[in-house]
RNA sequence: CGGAGCGUAGCUCAGCCUGGCUAGAGCGCGUGGUUUGGGUCCACGAAGUCGCAGGUUCGAAUCCUGUCGCUCCGACCA
């Protein structure tokens, strides 16, 4: 390809709406352009890099035995009602109506479609296992599109769905995907690591997210350098000790705390109750009913864990009015002592705690010397707190660390949640009918592209890994008139490399050397071959790996040298 | 949706507070010259309904109201 033939609109300055490095580089290197918030056009170079990633995914999915399909982006509302997700996923669904007023959803994912297909086409254990995947455009009405391709309203996702006869068989499928993901992200040239992930409402322990470490990531990951434990903050637990029990038999006692409505305020005189001896009482509305959450005063509630406990992702913090209606007091004076008829979910860390202080459900008053087990009716003990850095690892007790990361992939064991709802069953050897055991596996393809850039760049621009670079080689003749020696040699090397299957772009622009070099660095081609009079006079060309040192090479050896660099 | 901020040329921004002549700069773009191994230099030129609508005023990019869009922080997720 010739530079002047394609479109590579590089920018000296980043548009002001780009904040993070990868987003700026996507725009500056001329890979994408924004049409609207969270909606982008892929320009030739961006598309080529994207296709590279897709191809890596395709190869590894095929290698793992998955089969490619393509499902519709337009999905009838009915199947979403059948799965129950028309309501639970409502917030992110793009809804459209056709001319006859029928409702459709633009696909954010395809469990409903694939399970419908399986219900119709899979009848026998002999057809299993099966793993269907597709690479397609997905739509999500993101509350807030962000950071270019990182969180977009429209994006490209690889999604796969496995169908197996048994739980054990499903685990095999899961494992295959897990291994394939590792290979995929390694091949894309990004540092990546799997972490245990939140399974939310579906529950179970079989979910991992693949993370690319990045300060600009949107996920917090807890990890242990000693034993390798790693988990999304939504899922992470630690070996932090429970609240120490004290030898106090004193009965519960109410005391006045006028104007004290925060944990922080209660730690100060005259009350002077340390946060770790306080019970934080939170009221949420789940399925339109209030529930009480108890966690220790110095802990933070983890809403992802709460979703798993209450069994629905549709919940929210209660309003002050709802709280007053439920408990007769306002936030700041709430407690669960003596509460009946409202479910009380208490964090494990409070189990056995006594001599605690909590609100008295009377504005301006608190209780002290509260013993949880004695004074509060706890509906369920559960893990509700958010882990913080430095806590002992749940596996090896060494201090945990916390870091930010970009989630690029997610593998998830679904069980029979969907197969039961869609009647996706098979006939077993013994003639009995059983629901397929499912798994689902996603990769954010466009997000991965950006993660690669976020990870592979320097002050001059992108530093593409060879595997995803839009072109492997950029030939830069410094004089471009058709009869110049540099251009003739450039054409020759271009033809020879192309014949060898190398992807080459020839910078045939009549620009000053500085401009061409800067652009080549910005776009980040892995190998640059420069041909100017200076080296030409010595019968040489220059070969420079992006980010590496220039090597002068005899012009006859240039092609072989480039091939050697590419083949590694 | 809650909080914060921004919309002036293709891009980055100045001008707005304190209203007043043909609305500016740099980059980019076009023409000519110059230069030719890391974003040359010079000259000339094209290019803006000042996001949109309404209001105040003799007069609005500037003040007021509304609206749309965008960005950032939070809740959501590949």
pLDDT digits (tens, 9 = 90+) for A437-490: 999 999 999 999 999 999 999 999 999 999 999 999 999 999 998 889 999 999
Domain A253-382: CATH class, spelled out: alpha beta
- Look up tokens 């109750």; give the residue: A273
Phi, psi angle pair for A177, to nearest 5°: -70, -40
Strand B atom within 7 Å of A499 CB: no
B38 C1': nearest CA residue: A514
pLDDT at A565: 96
B36 C1': nearest CA residue: A512
| For residues A493-513, average pLDDT | 97
Q: What is the tens place of the pLDDT at every residue in A41-99?
A: 999 999 999 999 999 999 999 999 999 999 999 999 999 999 988 888 888 889 998 98
pLDDT at A247: 78
User: Domain A473-567 belongs to what architecture?
Assistant: 3-Layer(aba) Sandwich (3.40)
| For residues A279-304, average pLDDT | 88
Nucleotide nearest to A156 (CA to C1'): B78
pLDDT at A91: 82
Q: CA-CA distances (angstroms) from residue A242 to A245, A276, A277?
A: 9, 10, 12
pLDDT at A319: 80
Cβ A314 vs Cβ A286: under 8 Å: yes
| For residues A386-407, average pLDDT | 93
pLDDT at A429: 97
Q: Locate the domains of chain A by residue range.
A: 21-71+109-237+402-453, 253-382, 473-567
Query: Is the predicted pLDDT of residue A204 greater than 80, yes or no?
Result: no
Strand B atom within 7 Å of A250 CB: no
Least confident piece of the model among A33-42, A284-293, A455-464, A516-525: A284-293
pLDDT at A143: 79
Q: Comparing C-alpha atoms, which of A380, A349, A365, A384 is closest to residue A275?
A: A349
Strand B atom within 7 Å of A146 CB: yes
Cβ A211 vs Cβ A406: under 8 Å: yes
Distance from CA(A17) to C1'(B21), angstroms, rounded: 36
Strand B atom within 7 Å of A313 CB: yes
Consecutive H or E run containing A552: strand A551-554
Nucleotide nearest to A37 (CA to C1'): B70
| For residues A135-149, average pLDDT | 90
Strand B atom within 7 Å of A522 CB: yes
- How many whole angstroms separate alpha carbon A364 and alpha carbon A348? 28
- How many whole angstroms separate alpha carbon A141 and alpha carbon A155? 11
Q: Comparing C-alpha atoms, which of A379, A346, A364 is closest to residue A279?
A: A346
- How many whole angstroms separate alpha carbon A308 and alpha carbon A326? 23
Please tell me if the domain spanning A21-71+109-237+402-453 has the same topology as the one spanning A253-382.
no
Strand B atom within 7 Å of A453 CB: no
Strand B atom within 7 Å of A458 CB: no
Q: Which of chain A's residues 21-50 bind strand B, using a 7 Å CB cutoff?
A: 34, 36-38
Per-residue tokens: A200 = 């939310």
- How many whole angstroms separate alpha carbon A419 and alpha carbon A531? 62
What does the CA dihedral A58, A64, A69, A71 come to, rounded to 10 degrees?
Answer: -90
| For residues A207-230, average pLDDT | 93
pLDDT at A92: 85
Residue A150's pLDDT band, with cuts at 50, 70 and 90, is: very high
SS3 call for A332: coil
Q: Comparing C-alpha atoms, which of A49, A27, A22, A29 is closest to residue A40?
A: A27
pLDDT at A33: 93
**A378 burial via Cβ count (<10 Å: 0-12, 13-18, 19+):** middle
Residue A538's pLDDT band, with cuts at 50, 70 and 90, is: very high
If you ran DSSP here, which 8-state letter would residue A318 be given? P
Phi, psi angle pair for A554, to nearest 5°: -55, 140
Q: Which of chain A's residues 81-100 bind strand B, using a 7 Å CB cutoff?
A: 91-92
Query: Is the predicted pLDDT of residue A164 greater than 90, yes or no?
Result: yes
Nucleotide nearest to A200 (CA to C1'): B77
pLDDT at A288: 79
Within 7 A of a protein CB, which nucleotides of strand B? Answer: 1-2, 11-13, 26-28, 35-40, 69-78
Nucleotide nearest to A517 (CA to C1'): B38
Strand B atom within 7 Å of A519 CB: yes
Strands (E), A236-329: 253-256, 279-286, 289-296, 315-317
- How many whole angstroms separate alpha carbon A266 and alpha carbon A283? 19
Cβ A440 vs Cβ A395: under 8 Å: no
The percent of residues in chain A predicted with pLDDT above 90, rounded, is: 77
The rounded mean pLDDT for chain A is: 93
Cβ A321 vs Cβ A250: under 8 Å: no
Q: What is the tens place of the pLDDT at every residue in A329-381?
A: 888 889 999 898 899 999 999 999 999 999 999 999 999 999 999 999 999 99
Per-residue tokens: A168 = 């054990």
Query: Is the predicted pLDDT of residue A162 greater than 90, yes or no?
Result: yes
Q: Which of chain A's residues 277-306 bind strand B, using a 7 Å CB cutoff?
A: 303-304
pLDDT at A87: 83
Residue A515's pLDDT band, with cuts at 50, 70 and 90, is: very high
Distance from CA(A109) to C1'(B53), angstroms, rounded: 40
Query: Is the predicted pLDDT of residue A102 greater than 80, yes or no?
Result: yes
A83-101: string of b/e by CB count within 10 Å (b at 16+)? bebbeebeeebbeeeeeee
pLDDT at A289: 85
Distance from CA(A460) to C1'(B43), angstroms, rounded: 32
Per-residue tokens: A81 = 């009602």
Distance from CA(A15) to C1'(B51), angstroms, rounded: 17
Q: Comparing C-alpha atoms, which of A151, A135, A34 is closest to residue A445?
A: A135
Cβ A290 vs Cβ A319: under 8 Å: no
Residue scoring higher pLDDT (A131 or A205): A131
Q: What is the tens place of the pLDDT at every residue in A320-332?
A: 888 888 888 888 8
Cβ A140 vs Cβ A169: under 8 Å: no
Q: How far is CA A497 from the centre of its chain?
A: 38
Nucleotide nearest to A313 (CA to C1'): B76
Q: Reduced to 3 DSSP states, what percent helix, strand and coil does chain A have, rounded to the nearest 5?
A: 30, 30, 40
Nucleotide nearest to A476 (CA to C1'): B37
Strand B atom within 7 Å of A477 CB: no
Residue A200's pLDDT band, with cuts at 50, 70 and 90, is: low
- How many whole angstroms separate alpha carbon A37 and alpha carbon A293? 37
User: Domain A21-71+109-237+402-453 belongs to what architecture?
Assistant: 2-Layer Sandwich (3.30)
- How many whole angstroms separate alpha carbon A332 and alpha carbon A179? 49
Query: Is the predicted pLDDT of residue A132 greater than 90, yes or no?
Result: yes
pLDDT at A201: 65
Per-residue tokens: A515 = 């401009």
pLDDT at A314: 73
Phi, psi angle pair for A306, to nearest 5°: -60, -40
Strand B atom within 7 Å of A567 CB: no
Strand B atom within 7 Å of A406 CB: no
Q: What is the tens place of the pLDDT at every residue in A178-198?
A: 999 999 999 999 999 999 998
Distance from CA(A28) to C1'(B45), angstroms, rounded: 27
Nucleotide nearest to A512 (CA to C1'): B36
- How many whole angstroms separate alpha carbon A15 and alpha carbon A32? 12
pLDDT at A558: 97
Cβ A500 vs Cβ A559: under 8 Å: yes
């Amino acid at each position: 390809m010739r530079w002047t033939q394609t479109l590579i609109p590089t920018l000296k300055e980043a548009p002001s709406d780009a904040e993070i490095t990868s987003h700026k580089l996507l725009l500056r290197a001329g890979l994408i352009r924004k049409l609207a918030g969270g909606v982008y056009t892929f320009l030739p170079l961006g598309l080529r890099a994207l296709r590279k990633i897709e191809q890596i995914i395709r190869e590894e999915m095929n290698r793992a035995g998955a089969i490619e399909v393509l499902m519709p982006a337009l999905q009838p509302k009915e199947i979403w009602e059948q799965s129950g997700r028309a309501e639970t996923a409502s917030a992110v669904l793009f809804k459209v109506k056709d001319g006859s007023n029928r409702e459709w959803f633009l696909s954010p994912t395809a469990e409903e479609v694939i399970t419908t297909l399986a219900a119709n086409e899979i009848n026998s254990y002999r057809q299993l296992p099966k793993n269907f995947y597709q690479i397609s455009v997905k739509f999500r009405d993101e509350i807030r599109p962000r950071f270019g391709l990182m969180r977009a309203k429209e994006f490209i996702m690889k999604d796969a769905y496995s169908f197996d006869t048994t739980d054990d068989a499903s685990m095999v499928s899961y494992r295959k995907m897990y291994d394939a993901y590792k290979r995929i992200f390694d091949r894309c040239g990004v540092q990546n690591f799997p972490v245990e992930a939140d399974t939310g409402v579906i529950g179970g322990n079989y979910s991992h997210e693949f993370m690319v470490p990045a300060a600009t990531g949107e996920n917090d990951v807890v990890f242990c350098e000693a034993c390798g434990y790693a988990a999304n903050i939504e899922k992470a637990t630690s070996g932090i000790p429970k609240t120490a029990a004290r030898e106090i038999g004193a009965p519960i006692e109410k005391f006045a705390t006028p104007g004290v409505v925060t944990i922080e305020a209660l730690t100060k005189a005259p009350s002077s109750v340390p946060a770790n001896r306080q019970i934080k009482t939170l009221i949420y509305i789940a399925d339109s009913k209030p529930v009480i959450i108890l966690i220790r005063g110095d802990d933070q509630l983890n809403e992802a864990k709460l979703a798993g406990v209450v069994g629905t992702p549709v919940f929210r913090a209660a309003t002050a009015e709802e709280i007053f209606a439920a408990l007769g007091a306002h936030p700041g004076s709430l407690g669960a002592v003596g509460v009946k008829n409202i479910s009380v979910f208490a964090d494990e860390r409070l189990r056995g705690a006594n001599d605690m202080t909590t609100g008295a459900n009377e504005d301006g008053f608190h209780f002290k010397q509260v013993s949880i087990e004695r004074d509060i009716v706890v509906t369920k003990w559960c893990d509700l707190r958010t882990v913080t850095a430095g806590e002992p690892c749940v596996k090896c007790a060494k201090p945990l660390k916390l870091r930010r990361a970009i989630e690029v992939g997610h593998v998830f064991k679904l069980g029979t949640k969907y197969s039961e709802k869609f009647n996706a069953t098979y006939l077993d050897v013994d003639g009995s009918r059983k629901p397929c055991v499912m798994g689902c596996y996603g990769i954010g393809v466009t997000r991965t592209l950006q993660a690669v850039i976020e990870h592979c760049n320097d002050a001059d621009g992108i530093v593409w890994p060879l595997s995803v670079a839009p072109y492997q080689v950029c030939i830069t003749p410094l004089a471009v008139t058709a009869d110049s020696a540099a251009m003739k040699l450039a054409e020759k090397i271009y033809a020879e490399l192309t014949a060898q299957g190398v992807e080459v772009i020839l910078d045939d622009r009549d620009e000053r050397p500085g401009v061409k070099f800067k652009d080549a660095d910005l776009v980040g081609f892995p190998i640059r071959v420069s041909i100017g009079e200076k080296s030409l006079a010595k019968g040489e060309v220059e070969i420079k790996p992006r980010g590496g040192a220039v090597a002068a090479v005899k012009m006859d050896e240039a092609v072989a040298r480039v091939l050697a660099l590419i083949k590694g």
